Structure 1
Amino acid sequence: MAVDAQEAESPIVYVVDDDQSIRESLEDLLASIGLRAATFASPKEFSQSERPDAPSCLVLDVRMPGVSGLEFQEELTRSGIRMSIIFITAHGDVPMSVKAMKAGAVDFLTKPFREQDLVDAIQNGLARDLARRRAERVQTELRRRYASLSDGEKEVMKLAVSGLLNKQIAAQLGLSEVTIKMRRGQVMRKMRADSFADLVRFYHRIDGSEEDVIELK
């Protein structure tokens, strides 16, 4: 389905189900709560579609001709496509649901399910995807700031966040304490850190050891 440019950032819910009546009913349900939907009869059809850069989630049928929903979940993971998935099925079982959830699914609903349960799962999926997208933007910006540092500034930053004092860093690098102070000041400015605590959080976010929500200025 075509997506208007004005809607590029509004959330979208993808529905992949080989049952046309299910696709149509879910599209009507989503429209009733103000969410746009894009529906597909198969994983292949979904994969070949153009998808806008917007918060999204995927409502995926488990049993379909050809590639199953669980197989498609694995395929998306291998392709590096990170997407919140809500499984729906008329023939679910516990091992199947456990496998889906372990692989990162938001929910696993057995037909017939309450519309509100699906709506709740979709809202949860969209919230997760929005948080993921924000975290990725933060990571990209922090890496951009870090790349602007000179090699010497990066070295000082690494030693400073490890807990060393300026005089200890100076001794380790064979530089004057004045030089270390200047480099620390440049690091704070280029990383746009309001405090040393911010700098520590930024550094650990860059190296992947910190996953807390960070708001950047």
Structure 2
Amino acid sequence: MHYRRRRIDSQVPGIEARYSWRGGGSMSERVPIVYIVDDDEVTRSYFDAVLSTANVRCCRVESASSFLEMYDPDQPGCLLLDVQMPGMTGPELQHELNLRGAIIPVIFISSHAGVPTAVEAMLHGAFDFLQKPVSHEVLLVRVRDALDYDAGNRAALRQHDQMSTRFVALTARERDVLALLIAGHSNKVMASEMGLSERTVEVYRARIMKKTASRSLAQLVRMAMEMQLMPSSPQRAKATRANRQPGRRP
């Protein structure tokens, strides 16, 4: 997946950005950003200063609405989010992000919220919930964990997208063969059920392995499971049966 670097306009009201690149990575790669969303300027500056000691790139935002205006879902990173803010609150922002299908890890930070608020936030997918004041060590560890978690999620999504592209390339007939193949049927049984010769089934199998870049049947089955194409699925089984039309040519 190609990422285009998107500059955050530091002139936009409510947004203060600090640009730095970590390590010796390529400038063409997106560097994770820690978004600090808090209406208190002192808190924003403190978190930014602490994270700068680890050369972490930050973007300070004074309101939830300002964050929504500039947030790019393709940008890796995490969100340090205050609970109580004027206008849209932290939990309300989390709810909006959930509606949009955002995967950015959210670390809530609050000086007043109690256990019920923390539990509610975690139930709705928050990565962590910290009580102010937050020590340097705790902040750095939790942010590092959140960034690692986000990187893992995005890598998994990229892999899933690549597999999806491969499986989409299969023809309807190849999908039928795939369903029977991962169900454990032999070439002879598949040929009988589909009204094909065993040689034709072998050709389809070879095409499937090539298109999905599978090195073994075990790998093909694993990928099919991840793509939810296993024949144990009632929907897939029904679709497979519907595709087996009498007299249909391969």
Structure 2-normalised TM-score?
A: 0.79
Kept after mapping to 1: 8 A contact 2:38/2:44: yes
Cα deviation, 1:6-58, whole Å, max 9, x if unaligned, reads: 37511110010000001111111111101000010001111111548432100
3-state SS in 1 of match to 2:70: coil
Structure 2 spans left out of the alignment, 5+ residues: 1-7, 10-18, 22-26, 231-250
Kept after mapping to 2: 8 A contact 1:62/1:89: yes
Kept after mapping to 1: 8 A contact 2:78/2:150: yes
| Equivalent runs, 1:155-170 vs 2, <5 Å | 155-170=176-191
Q: 1:202 to 1:123 in 2, by over 3 A?
A: same
Size of the aligned set, in residue pairs, is 209
Task: State yes or no: 1:37 paired with 2:58.
Answer: yes
CA–CA separation in structure 1 for the residues paired with 2:152 and 2:29: 17
| Equivalent runs, 1:3-152 vs 2, <5 Å | 6=27, 8-49=29-70, 51=72, 53-152=74-173
Task: State yes or no: 1:154 paired with 2:175.
Answer: yes
CA–CA separation in structure 2 for the residues paired with 1:143 and 1:158: 16
3-state SS in 2 of match to 1:109: strand
Task: State yes or no: 1:172 paired with 2:187.
Answer: no
Cα deviation, 1:47-81, whole Å, max 9, x if unaligned, reads: 11154843210000001111111111011101222
Query: 1:195 matched to which residue of 2?
Result: 216
What is the Cα deviation at residue 4 of structure 1? 8.0
One-letter amino acid of the structure 2 residue matched with residue 142 of structure 1: M
**Bigger share in helix:** 1
- Identity over aligned pairs, percent: 35
CA–CA separation in structure 1 for the residues paired with 2:180 and 2:138: 50
Cα deviation, 1:94-150, whole Å, max 9, x if unaligned, reads: 111111111111110011122211211111111111111111111111111112212
Task: State yes or no: 1:207 paired with 2:228.
Answer: yes
CA–CA separation in structure 2 for the residues paired with 1:47 and 1:202: 35
Kept after mapping to 2: 8 A contact 1:60/1:86: yes
Structure 1 spans left out of the alignment, 5+ residues: 210-217
